[in-house]
Amino acid sequence: MTAVDAPESASRHRIEPTVWQALQSPRLLTREVLAGLVVAIALIPEAIAFSIIAGVDPRYGLFASFIMAVTIAFLGGRPAMITAATGAVALVIAPVAREYGIDYFLATVILGGLIQLVLATLGVAKLMRFLPRSVMVGFVNALAILIFISQVPHLVGVPWLVYPLVAAGLLIMYAMPRLTKVVPAPLVAIVLLTGAAVVFALNVPTVGDEGALPRSLPELFVPNVPLTWETLGIIGPFAVAMAIVGLLESLMTAKLVDEITDTHSRKTREALGQGAANILSGLFGGMGGCAMIGQTMINVKASGARTRISTFLAGVFLLVLVVVLGDVVAIIPMAALVAVMIVVSVATFDWHSIRPSTLRRMPKSETVVMVVTVVVTVWTHNLAIGVGVGVVTAMLLFARRVAHFTTVTRVVTATDAAEPTARYTVDGALFFASSNDLTTQFAYTRDPDRVIVDLSRSHVWDASSVAALDAIQTKYDRLGKTVTFEGMNDATTRLHGRLSGGVDAAH
């Protein structure tokens, strides 16, 4: 069994300090508690904003953030990572709420969680290593653009006072980190703008105008949808997209935290935990979500949290703040949330990827893949489709590039003691792209009666390459010449022996 196939060892994934160690240390416990409080405060505006993106009342995003944070604290594979309602999931499933209503919306969340459980069981987490970096960059950039675009409706046809409030919010959030990072800048902007709106009685749209905030704890809610194939046809595509997007963002965030903390986490367990969290979120009236890069960085990098305690308390503190201070949250001007989301979109975008110096150094194929991912995602408003097209584009460009690495060299030896022999040396990997023109690189009619094809510096990967070798054999047989393949490695010998003569060779 290889290292890749071996079960994840407990020692390799033991992350310290553990929950028990933190509970025994007043210093560590204080750090975890304060980190959870800071994240909870920072989660409130974004949970509300993502609810609005999804086209549902703010309570659906707030409930989702509470339920998912608490659930993932117990079931997730990456300690200290924050899972809550996110813009990525909101953008994917927003059409369901708009066109079919809240019952279908929550049913989509539950089905998306079930699909995540299936994908996790099938080992989807291990496929992350096949996701090209250019696709990941395109994914992040497209997400940033879509978040920004989703704010435009809140800036059109509104009172003129909205614009100076948004500008003030942006100024506060960019200036605040220069003074202190103890309190999240988005929270400071929201508090100041809300205070200004109340003191000066500004007539601007507020969070309360978007829908009622929760007054009680979330309750079990079973969506009232018919269990038919028609229902599955409606919610299925959105659920699949949600599952893929949620796992992509969660696993990418987990990988980022691994690098920051120099630890290894259980990616398969994280995928399972995400699925369970989404199912519970849907059953208790939440909009679903995934890992949040921004809040996770606040928790891990800014606050120094390392255990599940901070994640658990982030969810608990969030619910307490919303239920107890719901009237205060309702008077928050929408302009403040728009400013927050604009800053989130700007911070999310990978500006380094579009710098002229980066574009000059980067292979053109990498840039093409990134641009294709962004364009398709923004055009379809579906992150899953964009990532899928990006991966396919990367595969095609890679195959095209690698296909040119295969060379064929011909040497003819003729002595008095031995019959003339044509020796062909194939150098490089043979697969469907590189083997397509392999048959054209042999001088069939000009070669002597004895031909040797040396494959010692090559490797046959698929049936297309075996078919190409069969075609070469067939062409020489028709001319009454003898061709011998030699130097095959063990894997190539097995594949050639199993498929030779059984595939349709070119004539």
445/103 Cα distance (integer angstroms):
72
- Give the dihedral sign, CA 45/51/54/56: negative
Checking if the pLDDT of 2 tops 80, the result is no
Q: Which helix (H) or strand (E) holds 126?
A: none
**Structure-derived torsion over alpha carbons of residues 370, 375, 377, 378, reported in degrees to the nearest 10:** 130
Of 178-187, 223-232, 317-326, the range with the lowest mean pLDDT is: 178-187
507/495 Cα distance (integer angstroms):
21
Planar angle of CA 168, 85, 73, nearest 5 degrees: 120
Q: What is the mean pLDDT of residues 98-126?
A: 93
Average pLDDT, the chain: 85
Buried b (16+ CB within 10 A) or exposed e, 31-58: bbbbbbbbbbbbbbbbbbbbbbbbbbbb
452/420 Cα distance (integer angstroms):
11
- Report the DSSP pairing between strands 482-486 and 450-460: parallel
Residue with tokens 């043979």: 430
pLDDT one-digit tens code per residue, 338-368: 888 788 788 778 888 899 988 888 888 889 9
The full 3-state SS of 285-312, as one line of letters, equals CCCCCEECHHHHHHHHHHCCCCCHHHHH
pLDDT one-digit tens code per residue, 199-222: 999 999 987 777 667 778 888 989
Helix extents (H) in 404-480: 463-478
Percent of the chain with pLDDT over 70: 93
Residue 291's closest CA among 345, 340, 241, 255? 255
203/207 Cα distance (integer angstroms):
13
Top-confidence residue, 138 or 68: 68
Asked if residues 154 and 165 have their Cβ atoms less than 8 Å apart, the reply is no
Count the helix, strand and coil residues of the chain and give each as a percent rounded to the nearest 5. Answer: 65, 10, 30
**Model pLDDT, residue 168:** 95
Residue 133's closest CA among 357, 352, 297? 352
411 φ/ψ angles, rounded to the nearest 5 degrees: -135, 130
- Report the DSSP pairing between strands 407-413 and 421-430: antiparallel
Residue 319's closest CA among 286, 282, 273, 278? 286
pLDDT one-digit tens code per residue, 378-429: 898 776 688 789 989 988 887 777 766 778 899 988 765 668 889 999 988 8
425/404 Cα distance (integer angstroms):
16
Q: Is 11 exposed, middle or buried (0-12, 13-18, 19+ CB in 10 A)?
A: exposed
Asked if residues 68 and 315 have their Cβ atoms less than 8 Å apart, the reply is yes
506 φ/ψ angles, rounded to the nearest 5 degrees: -70, 145
Of 154-168, 231-245, 426-440, 456-470, the range with the lowest mean pLDDT is: 426-440
* DSSP 8-state assignment for residue 8: P
Q: What is the mean pLDDT of residues 280-306?
A: 86
56/253 Cα distance (integer angstroms):
26
30/36 Cα distance (integer angstroms):
10
21/28 Cα distance (integer angstroms):
8
Asked if residues 43 and 65 have their Cβ atoms less than 8 Å apart, the reply is yes
Q: Go through the domains of the chain in sequence order and give each one's CATH number.
A: 19-398 (no CATH), 407-499 (3.30.750.24)
Checking if the pLDDT of 80 tops 50, the result is yes
Question: Would you call 222 helix, strand, or coil by DSSP?
Answer: coil
Checking if the pLDDT of 83 tops 90, the result is yes
Percent of the chain with pLDDT over 90: 35
Q: How far is CA 102 from the centre of its chain?
A: 26
pLDDT band at 294 (very low <50, low <70, confident <90, very high): confident
pLDDT band at 24 (very low <50, low <70, confident <90, very high): confident
**Model pLDDT, residue 416:** 58
pLDDT one-digit tens code per residue, 26-61: 888 888 888 888 888 778 877 887 888 888 888 899
Residue 319's closest CA among 68, 145, 74, 29? 68
Checking if the pLDDT of 506 tops 50, the result is no
Dihedral-angle region of residue 304 (phi above 0 means left; psi in -120 to 50 means alpha; beta otherwise): left
pLDDT band at 196 (very low <50, low <70, confident <90, very high): very high
331/207 Cα distance (integer angstroms):
6
